[in-house]
């Protein structure tokens, strides 16, 4: 059984992603992962992420990292369900890790997606 993801485990996940890729790009944290990163909640069941295009090598590293940390990782994005807001990438807070940058969707976009999912 996988572990809940707290802030320390989430940061370790992002650190390992950055360490295991040579491609530069952004990983967008979504949903519960975003809430944990911003201290809105203490843990989440899974790490929902969206990747910049062209990060195929990074995508191939995710299964090994999931096993190593015993976390659930899902490829998900509010943009898969609702239209993107213009300029959302520029407004997303950025957190740097080696080689990659993690950004979180703005709170309003996350809340809108969660409301639509209910």
Q: Which residue has the tokens 């929902």?
A: 48
pLDDT digits (tens, 9 = 90+) for 6-23: 999 998 998 888 888 777
Residue with the bigger pLDDT between 45 and 114: it is 45
Give residue 67's pLDDT: 95
Q: How many domains does the chain have?
A: 1
pTM, two decimals, is: 0.72
Range of the domain at 104: 5-117
CA distance 35 to 105: 10
Strands (DSSP E) along 1-118, which ranges? 5-6, 25-30, 43-44, 46-51, 72-75, 94-96, 100-104
Mean pLDDT score, 95-100: 52
Residue with the bigger pLDDT between 96 and 3: it is 3
Q: How many C-beta neighbours within 10 Å does residue 38 have? A: 14
């Amino acid at each position: 059984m996988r572990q809940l993801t707290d802030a320390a485990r989430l940061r370790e996940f992002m650190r390992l992603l950055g360490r295991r890729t040579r491609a530069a790009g952004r990983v967008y944290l979504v949903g519960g992962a975003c809430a944990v990163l911003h201290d809105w909640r203490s843990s989440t069941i899974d790490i929902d992420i969206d990747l910049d295009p062209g990060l195929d090598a990074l995508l191939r590293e995710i299964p090994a990292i999931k096993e190593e940390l015993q976390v659930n990782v899902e490829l998900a994005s509010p943009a898969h369900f609702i239209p993107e807001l213009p300029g959302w990438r520029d407004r997303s807070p950025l957190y740097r890790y080696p080689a990659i940058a993690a950004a979180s969707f703005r709170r309003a976009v996350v809340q809108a997606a969660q409301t639509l999912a209910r």
